[in-house]
Amino acid sequence: MKQPESHILVIFGASGDLTKRKLIPSLFELYVQKLLPEDFAVLGVARTDISDDEFRSRMKEFLPLSPATDPAISNFQKRLFYQSLSTSDAQDYPILKERLDALSSNLNIPANYIFYLSTPPSLYEIIPQHLAGIGLNDATNGFKRLIVEKPFGTDLNTAQQLNKNLLNYFAEDQLYRIDHYLGKETVQNLLVTRFSNGIFEPIWNHNFIHHIEITSAESLGVENRGGYYDHSGAMRDMVQNHLFQVLGLIAMEPPVVIEANAIRNELLKVFQSVRPIPETEVQNVVIRGQYTQSHIGKDLVKGYRDEPGVNPQSRTETFVALKLFIDNWRWGGVPFYIRTGKKLPARVTEAVIHFKNTPHHLFGNQTDVLPVNNQLVLRIQPDEGILLKIGMKVPGAGFRVQTVNLDFHYDELSDAYLPSAYGRLLLDCMQGDATLYSRGDAVEEAWKIVQPILNAWKNNPDIPIYGYPAGTWGPEIADRLVEDGSWRYPCKNLARDGEYCEL
């Protein structure tokens, strides 16, 4: 893999959770894999007044400590620097510029800078403006890129506002809107599975596919993020971004080339083709739920409303299930079901393609035999892999049919280095490759799909929010959405699916 050009990565929000838990460990991983350039530095920026050394030792706690990693950690730490700054204050930015100039000249790094916004979203408008105010958006003497973390707005209006504002100071090709789902190997593999095999594409359409479901179940609750989550909810937190990306990759037309705009154009078209849900219909095609206190095994598990930072009368959804149609030539009439929730029985993300039954049930005359429901399970996490359910003859007299699994597990390829999602995306940005980052127009289009749902919930408080006991598969009524079939209730294990279930 080609190494990126020398540069400085500036992380705004350097004392935050994301920096410690994801960014610094991913950068260390890239460092160990020798994927970072020879001349490279990280400049952490936050309000707290601490020294470079203090920052280094605080970050060390989040690295994989062992005698084997010790030398690498101390060399990596030398590349970490810190600058205290009041990021909302224009007067402070010349200090940042001076620090960057000094680092560039001491470390022999050209003025190539990546700015990572890992701050509260209220600063997404201010930081780019102040960076531009001192010329740090000017790519004449070196690249200047801006990585923006989600949320990209909280509704259509704020997303449009945010895009407009970012584009006042940075050009679209300098903007990298990060959606960590696109950094997952198995999400990228959706493209490879579809477009590197001749056998899937001919049947990947309404003629052969009955319906598609996308599930992202989490066993954890909101943990210590109640304050954020209570203003967000599952629709904004998971569906509008991560799960729509998965939907896009499953439903898109083949791009002409594997290149940022070719892929992003196709994703955009999918979002544009999603049939709008009228506000009056929301109640029938979208089910929302919230976890309530329950016993899981011997433990008494808190309900959502008792979580720290959550309003005790909260009507924020921790579960959502919805049904969508994509009105285009390929998908006319095929329902897409999307479901996500916290405090469900297992942590599993997968897409399931349900194929139509055979036109004539040749082996269906036996009383105990149901028609085989061919399913292709594309497992994103955990036990990453692919599973195809097909009918096979049960040995013996007659023609009894049994459904069996053909499966492949990603860890069978594991001698290759698999970067973490953040590692992969950071490296792509360093190389100037925006393929796996969201483009502004697609983000807005995705908001257009969810906006009527958010409006309906806001304008009609009578639309129920169903309680579900923590540790269950969400409100039972969500089952009714899937008219002609049912949700799959996945287990953690994909291996030996249907034989045993690991939760």
- Segment (H or E) for 144: strand 144-148
To the nearest whole angstrom, how small is the minimum distance from the Cβ of residue 146 to ligand BG6? 19
| Residue of this chain nearest to ligand BG6 (CB atom) | 237
Residues 327 and 271: their CA atoms lie apart, in Å, by 10
* Catalytic residue, candidates 231, 242, 295, 354: 242
C-alpha angle with apex 39: 33 to 42, nearest 5 degrees? 80
Going by DSSP bridges, is the β-strand pair 299-301/294-296 parallel, antiparallel, or unpaired?
antiparallel
Residues 366 and 209: their CA atoms lie apart, in Å, by 26
DSSP helix/strand/coil, 43: strand
Q: Residue 321 corresponds to which tokens in the numbers above? A: 């299930």
Residue 18 vs 203, nearer CB to ligand BG6: 18
Q: Does 451 bind ligand BG6 (CB under 6 A)?
A: no
Residue 218 vs 350, nearer CB to ligand BG6: 218
Residue 15 vs 349, nearer CB to ligand BG6: 349
| Footprint on residues 261-290 left by ligand BG6 (CB under 6 A) | none
To the nearest whole angstrom, how small is the minimum distance from the Cβ of residue 237 to ligand BG6? 5
Residue 4 vs 183, nearer CB to ligand BG6: 183
242 labelled catalytic:
yes
To the nearest whole angstrom, how small is the minimum distance from the Cβ of residue 180 to ligand BG6? 6
To the nearest whole angstrom, how small is the minimum distance from the Cβ of residue 18 to ligand BG6? 10
Q: Does 317 bind ligand BG6 (CB under 6 A)?
A: no
Q: Residue 200 corresponds to which tokens in the numbers above? A: 């899937």
To the nearest whole angstrom, how small is the minimum distance from the Cβ of residue 218 to ligand BG6? 5
Residue 174 vs 349, nearer CB to ligand BG6: 349
Q: Does 218 bind ligand BG6 (CB under 6 A)?
A: yes
Going by DSSP bridges, is the β-strand pair 286-292/319-325 parallel, antiparallel, or unpaired?
antiparallel
Site string for ligand BG6, 176-215 (x = CB under 6 A): ----------------------------------------
- Map tokens 């052969």 to a residue: 208
Q: Does 237 bind ligand BG6 (CB under 6 A)?
A: yes
To the nearest whole angstrom, how small is the minimum distance from the Cβ of residue 228 to ligand BG6? 8
To the nearest whole angstrom, how small is the minimum distance from the Cβ of residue 43 to ligand BG6? 25
- Map tokens 């809107």 to a residue: 177
String of b and e for 149-187 (b: at least 16 CB within 10 Å)?
bbbbbbbbeebbebbeebeebbeeebbbbbbbbbbbbbb
How many residues sit close enough to ligand BG6 to count as binding (CB under 6 A)? 3
Residue 228 vs 487, nearer CB to ligand BG6: 228
Q: Which of 487, 207, 203 is nearest to 359 (CA)?
A: 207
Q: Helices 260-273 and 440-459: crossing angle, nearest 10°? A: 30
Q: Are 242 and 181 in contact (CB under 8 A)?
A: yes
Residue 218 vs 497, nearer CB to ligand BG6: 218
| Footprint on residues 65-84 left by ligand BG6 (CB under 6 A) | none
| Footprint on residues 343-362 left by ligand BG6 (CB under 6 A) | 349
Residues 222 and 468: their CA atoms lie apart, in Å, by 15
Q: Name beta bridge partners: 175.
A: 146
Residues 22 and 19: their CA atoms lie apart, in Å, by 6
Residues 34 and 413: their CA atoms lie apart, in Å, by 21
Residues making contact with ligand BG6 (CB under 6 A) = 218, 237, 349
Residues with catalytic annotation? 242
